[in-house]
A and B are shown apart, each in its own frame.
Chain A
Amino acid sequence: MGLITPDLGLLFWTSLVFVLLLVILTKFIWKPILTSVNAREQKISDALELAEKTKAEMHALQAANENLLKEARAERDAIVKDAKETAVKMVEDAKNAAKTEANKIVESARATINTEKTAAIAELKNQVAAISLEIAEKIIRGELSSDEKQKALAEKMAGDINLN
């Protein structure tokens, strides 16, 4: 039967073609294809790994950012608080200083007024004394304008001294 009898010619051609095909395909076709496919698979797995790593890094970064933000916020709060305190203190200080100054001014004004008053009073006293002296002089002159009057006065004065 021809169907199940191997044929020499066909065997020769088949082996020739198959071996040539094997060599050509291996060298020029399978090699570049497999190299590319392997490289791509490597690339994909690398990319996946990198993505995973980046994700973890992002998480860490996010946490760090959050911490940083928290710290910044706390710092800001502290600064604002400080500033407020300082402002209050400054206002207080200014108030105190103003008060002290005002008091000082009032005090010095008072002192000046007193001094002036005293001076005025002294002057008034002097003038009053001067006027009084003048008046007394005038009166005395009037009293002593005549001998009788001089005599009467001297007697009177002598009478006063005796009484003492």
Chain B
Amino acid sequence: MSLIFSAKRFFSFLVGILIFSTSFASEHGSEKKKEFNVGEMIMHHVSDAHEWHLWGGHHDAVSIYLPVILIDGGLKTFSSKHFYHGEHAVSMDKKTNGEVEYVKGVGPAAGYAMYHEEVYKLENGELSFEDGHVHGAVKPYDFSITKNVLSLFMGAILILLILSNVARFYKKNGPVAPRGLAKYLEVLIVMVRDDIAKANIGHKYQKYVPYLLTIFFFIFINNLLGLVPFLPGGANLTGNITVTLFLSVCTLLVTLVSANKNYWLHIFAMPGVPKPLLIIMIPIELVGILTKPFALMVRLFANMTAGHIIVLALISIIFINQNAAWGGLSVPMALFISVLELLVAFLQAFLFAMLSALFIGAAVEEAHH
């Protein structure tokens, strides 16, 4: 996770890279380690986790262990420390016959195992694998405060802090020219109201402005937070399929709830289309209802995840070559992509709100034939 906002951070980042690379090199020299696996490292960084890794590697890693909350015949809560400092276990894959490493929980986590950040219930003391996947084990309902959930909380708090400041300004001063934070955020708020809501929905736009504003700021702030390479940023929240799925389902629900007769008429009895053709048209239109939010979901997920992956991959050049000098190549490129990601962070938030408004607009549009 590396986004550099200013030259100052850029240099501290460079220093960090150098320190990291030397420690990595020495570690590599002294201990017998696995080859540096770029794919694994990247997947680890863009995926959710039960810990918030701060710095260090392997045994000297410093992390915040997040609470694990399981519903498995009652509520079970314990620190994820009991997994990360648990019992390392190895199983044979039944299909590929390769070794698969996972961890068994100790203490309060006893009876559970974690593999690729997923919690499984141990049936007979160990997990069995088939084709690289856990086979036959039951997964308890996992409501853990994971890295993404914590990032979500922090994002929500940040949004509330920033926007309550703006709201307070207006409450105190009434309808005056904006100053301070309000000056910067009002541009965005007015943009969502005028260019997104009013332009796409029409005269009934007012009802949808709060939803679109919330969607926009939720995505925008969390996108930006995801670009900050250290706490409170670094989680790939808006690049998580669950989050984008939820947001697009929200848009779908808003669209369907506000849809008028004209909208359904266009789906079930497209005016001007011959009756026999409707047999083809109706399924297409029905699928169309779902493809629109599906595209929303994939767009946000893919854009944010891809941004994170590119930055990580560029930084990995240094570690693949095990030479800090490669920073001369990878850092400028990562910097360029990071700045580009700033634009993407805004653009994706804008697009999501824009397309949501467009879909809502199509649903509330009056007939004009």
Interface residues of chain A, those whose CB is within 8 Å of chain B, are 2-15, 17-18, 20-22, 24-26, 28-37, 39-40, 42-43
CB-based contact A30/B250 at 8 Å: no
CB-based contact A7/B153 at 8 Å: no
Closest 10 CB pairs of A and B: A40-B175, A36-B170, A39-B175, A26-B210, A10-B242, A29-B167, A9-B143, A6-B242, A13-B149, A30-B210
- Within 8 Å CB of A32, what residues of B? 167, 170-171
| B116 adjacent to chain A (CB < 8 Å) | yes
What's the A-B contact tally at a CB cutoff of 8 Å?
Answer: 123
Q: Which chain B residues (191-220) contact chain A, with CB distance < 8 Å? A: 193, 209-211, 213-214, 217-218
B 114-156 binary contact with A (CB < 8 Å = 1; else 0): 0011100000000000000000000001111110110011001
A2-B118, A36-B175 in contact; A18/B245 too (CB < 8 A)?
no
Could you tell me the distance between the alpha carbons of A40 and B176 in the complex, rounded to whole angstroms?
6
- Within 8 Å CB of B116, what residues of A? 2
CB-based contact A17/B141 at 8 Å: no
- Within 8 Å CB of A8, what residues of B? 141-143
Could you tell me the distance between the alpha carbons of A43 and B173 in the complex, rounded to whole angstroms?
14
CB-based contact B149/A10 at 8 Å: yes
Interface 9-mer from B40-48, B95-103, B328-336: B40-48
Of the listed residues B146, B164, B242, the one surrounded by the most CB atoms of chain A closer than 10 A to its CB is B242
Minimal beta-carbon separation of B319 from chain A (angstroms): 21
Given contact pairs A9-B146, A26-B211, enumerate 16 new A-B contacts (beta carbons under 8 Å): A3-B43, A7-B142, A9-B143, A10-B152, A11-B246, A14-B242, A15-B246, A22-B214, A29-B160, A30-B209, A31-B210, A33-B163, A36-B170, A36-B173, A39-B175, A40-B176
| B247 adjacent to chain A (CB < 8 Å) | yes
Residue of A nearest to B145 (CB): A13
- Within 8 Å CB of B47, what residues of A? 2-3
A30-B210, A33-B167, A40-B176 in contact; A21/B186 too (CB < 8 A)?
no
CB-based contact A33/B153 at 8 Å: no
| B241 adjacent to chain A (CB < 8 Å) | yes
Query: Which of B141, B152, B166, B190 contacts A13 (CB under 8 A)?
Result: B152
Could you tell me the distance between the alpha carbons of A25 and B240 in the complex, rounded to whole angstroms?
23
Of the listed residues A10, A14, A25, the one surrounded by the most CB atoms of chain B closer than 10 A to its CB is A10
Could you tell me the distance between the alpha carbons of A35 and B189 in the complex, rounded to whole angstroms?
12
Could you tell me the distance between the alpha carbons of A97 and B311 in the complex, rounded to whole angstroms?
119
Minimal beta-carbon separation of B349 from chain A (angstroms): 14
Could you tell me the distance between the alpha carbons of A17 and B148 in the complex, rounded to whole angstroms?
12
CB-based contact A34/B164 at 8 Å: no
Could you tell me the distance between the alpha carbons of A49 and B144 in the complex, rounded to whole angstroms?
58
B contact patch SS: helix
- Within 8 Å CB of A9, what residues of B? 69, 141-144, 146, 149
Could you tell me the distance between the alpha carbons of A5 and B240 in the complex, rounded to whole angstroms?
9
Total count of chain B residues near the partner, CB < 8 A? 53
Could you tell me the distance between the alpha carbons of A30 and B170 in the complex, rounded to whole angstroms?
11
CB-based contact A10/B48 at 8 Å: yes
- Within 8 Å CB of B351, what residues of A? none
Residue of B nearest to A36 (CB): B170
| B362 adjacent to chain A (CB < 8 Å) | no
| B2 adjacent to chain A (CB < 8 Å) | no
Query: Which of B214, B217, B218, B243 contacts A10 (CB under 8 A)?
Result: B243
Residue of B nearest to A10 (CB): B242
Could you tell me the distance between the alpha carbons of A3 and B218 in the complex, rounded to whole angstroms?
21
CB-based contact B117/A2 at 8 Å: yes
- Within 8 Å CB of A31, what residues of B? 210
CB-based contact A34/B218 at 8 Å: no
Could you tell me the distance between the alpha carbons of A24 and B142 in the complex, rounded to whole angstroms?
27
Minimal beta-carbon separation of B71 from chain A (angstroms): 9
Of the listed residues B46, B240, B305, the one surrounded by the most CB atoms of chain A closer than 10 A to its CB is B240
A2-B47, A3-B241 in contact; A10/B148 too (CB < 8 A)?
yes
CB-based contact B164/A6 at 8 Å: no
Q: Which chain B residues (50-83) contact chain A, with CB distance < 8 Å? A: 69
Could you tell me the distance between the alpha carbons of A51 and B64 in the complex, rounded to whole angstroms?
62
CB-based contact A22/B141 at 8 Å: no
Minimal beta-carbon separation of B344 from chain A (angstroms): 18
Could you tell me the distance between the alpha carbons of A64 and B164 in the complex, rounded to whole angstroms?
54
| B174 adjacent to chain A (CB < 8 Å) | yes
- Within 8 Å CB of A5, what residues of B? 241
- Within 8 Å CB of B163, what residues of A? 25, 29, 33
CB-based contact B213/A14 at 8 Å: no
